[in-house]
Structures are given as structure tokens and as C-alpha cells.
Amino acid sequence: MSQYPALRLRRSRASAWSRRLHAETVLTPADLIWPVFVTEGSAEEPIAALPGVSRWGLQGIVERAREARDLGIPCLALFPNTPHALRTEDGREAVNPDNLMCRAIRAIKDAVPEVGVLTDVALDPYTSHGHDGIVDGAGYVLNDETSAVLTEQALVQAAAGADIVAPSDMMDGRVGQIRSALEANGHVNVQIMAYAAKYASAFYGPFRDAVGSRGLLKGDKKTYQMDPANAEEALREVALDLAEGADSVMVKPGLPYLDIVARVKSAFEVPVFAYQVSGEYAMIEAAAAVGAGDREALVLETLMAFKRAGCTGVLTYHAPLAARLLGA
């Protein structure tokens, strides 16, 4: 009986109301986290590698937070373009309580406290070599020395008002250390979103331009970020970060790693986020620019794909466009 012609799956697709009624997945502005770049000064600085994305000074960042609020986007992710004169071997500017990042957090929390602020915990925007941690003489990123600095960095960000600290460095053991330090310092409600499965990816190029680390980076990040060949290892990374106290986990990059999202979601049943990274954004923009696809349709389809795969939310530079399209 469950055969054609009794069964025609096209029946439910025949009209718009019915397609809406049968939709298994919904996408709303509340699913979006908007990554924004902060810089010194007050001029808007367009980023050539990310058409449509700019770095903003503190005033501009506050305006972006207001825009997010008005569009129904719950949270901003902040990334600093640290002045090059302040970048050192050890990245010590990362733990300066008055650094650009902390001033941006405070400015947003003073003006628009109802918008969540997520901060990146890693040293790459602060080091003279562009790596996420402290390197030894051979250029190897030292795990435990780096984790100690990252813990301090997370504390400084939490003290400035960060709502979610997001370690993106892939050191072993840092989530537990950050959680203990947050608890010991009274930041019991500051969340940790662990970049749990972060791959050594070719899709980060435009981001490195945006935070000014591309030209500085020596070598690659393969000794700490994951091999794109691996999936089981991602599950181990997620298990460890959860055991250490992560409130949510992230998979990064996004679209090429939806299999990882789906496996993590089904294995752990915890909040899973994905980062549709700079290179993915740039690919959509490039496709739209040459007429290979419609920008708005590509943006909404890719974001829906993240939700369908099991994401609780998505970090995307297209957040304001998507929120507008979704009619906040």
C-alpha cells in the first residue's frame, strides 16, 4: 500500500502553505552569532578579503551591538586587530585588562547589556609570529605554558564583562583550567563555548587578514589544530572539553564539516555550534559576484543546512543579512 500512486511525496510540497507546515527545521535570527572585528581609531576599515565586512572602532562596535539587538541577533563574537606595535613573542597584550578587546567588551556591555558578548581566547591576534600560543625555539607551540596564559586571558575578558569565553586555540586541558579559574574568581555564570573540533583549515585566510596575522604567521597550525582527515578524534576532543566543563562545543569550519556536527550532536546531545568561517563567507560572496548563485538564497540555504545537521546556532559574518531576510 505504501507505494506509488497511493504515496506521492510531492503532495506536501505542492503549495507554499503546505511546505511551511511540513518544514522540519526552522531558522530564526536567534540562531545567529555575529563575529565582528574591532580596531583602534574611529574610522570604518573595510576588509578587502571579506567584501561587506569591516573593522570598527569602539563606537562602531557599539553601533553593531545595537544593530544586532534590533535585528534579534542574540550575541556578538569579538575579534581584535591588535596594533602591530603591541604584538610580541609571548602575546602579553592578551592579558592586559585595558586592551582593545576588553575596552570593546566594556563599551558594549555599558551601552547594550542585553546583547551577549562572546570572546575568542587565543593568542594569535597578539603574537608577533601569528600563532595561537607561546612558541619554543623550534617554533613548536607549547601546550601548558600557553594554557596558563589563556586562563589569564579568559579571566581578564570575564572581568571586563564577557558572557561567553571561547577558547579557539586547541591546547589540551585548557577548558578545565579556565573553568576552575572562572569559578575561583566568582564568574560562575560566564559560559565556556569550546572550539572543540577545530580543524587546520585553508578556509581561515580572510580572517587572518582581518586580525592582521596573515603576514606574520610562520608555518601552519597543524601541530595543534585537527587534521581534516579525522572524525573519531573530533568526538574525543568534544568528550574531553565537556568533561572539563564546556557549556557548549563548536565545530569549525562549518559547511565542509557538517558530518562532524551531526555525529557530535547524536553522540553527546549537547548544544553544538558551528562557525561558518571567513573563507566560506568569501566563497559565497565570490559566487554571488560572478552570478554563479543568488547571495540571499545561498546564505539562507547554508544556514538552514547547519540547523538541519543539528546545530543550536551558527557563527556567521552573514548574520545581519540573514536576520534581515528572516524578517526580525
Active-site positions?
198, 252
* CB 277, CB 201: distance < 8 Å: yes
Gap between the Cα atoms of 198 and 165, Å rounded: 16
| CA separation for the pair 251, 224 (Å, rounded) | 15
Among residues 132, 237, 241, 244, the one that binds ligand PBG under rule CB under 6 A: 132
Q: Is residue 204 within the footprint of ligand PBG (CB under 6 A)?
A: yes
**If binding is defined by CB under 6 A, does position 278 make contact with ligand PBG?**
yes
Measure the CA–CA gap between 242 and 240, rounded to whole angstroms: 5
Nearer to ligand PBG, 94 or 277 (CB): 277
Taking CB under 6 A as the rule, does residue 120 contact ligand PBG? yes
Q: Which is nearer to ligand PBG, 19 or 127 (CB)?
A: 127
What is the distance between the alpha carbons of residues 263 and 180, in angstroms, rounded to a whole number? 28
Contact between 319 and ligand PBG per CB under 6 A: no
Residue 150 makes contact with ligand PBG by CB under 6 A: no
Among residues 67, 93, 124, 163, the one that binds ligand PBG under rule CB under 6 A:
124
Nearest to 281 by CA among 64, 77, 61, 47: 47
**With contact defined as beta carbons under 8 Å apart, do 314 and 276 qualify?**
yes
Task: Decide if residue 146 touches ligand PBG (CB under 6 A).
Answer: no
Q: Does 122 bind ligand PBG (CB under 6 A)?
A: yes
Min dist. Cβ of residue 114 to ligand PBG (A): 25
The interface region with ligand PBG, picked from 88-96, 118-126, 148-156, 306-314 by CB under 6 A, is: 118-126
Contacts to ligand PBG from residues 78-97, by CB under 6 A: none
Residue 96: how many other CB atoms lie within 10 Å:
15
* β-strand partners of 23: none
Q: Are strands 75-80 and 116-121 parallel, antiparallel or unpaired?
A: parallel
For 158, the grid coordinates are: 570575564
**Contact region for ligand PBG (CB under 6 A) — 21-29, 60-68, 116-124, 258-266?**
116-124
In this structure, the strands spanning 164-167 and 191-198 are parallel
Contact between residue 125 and residue 208 where contact means Cβ atoms under 8 Å apart: no
Q: Mark 153-182 with x for binding to ligand PBG (rule: CB under 6 A) and - for no binding.
A: ---------------xx-------------
Q: Applying CB under 6 A, which residues contact ligand PBG?
A: 120, 122, 124, 132, 168-169, 204, 207-208, 221, 277-278
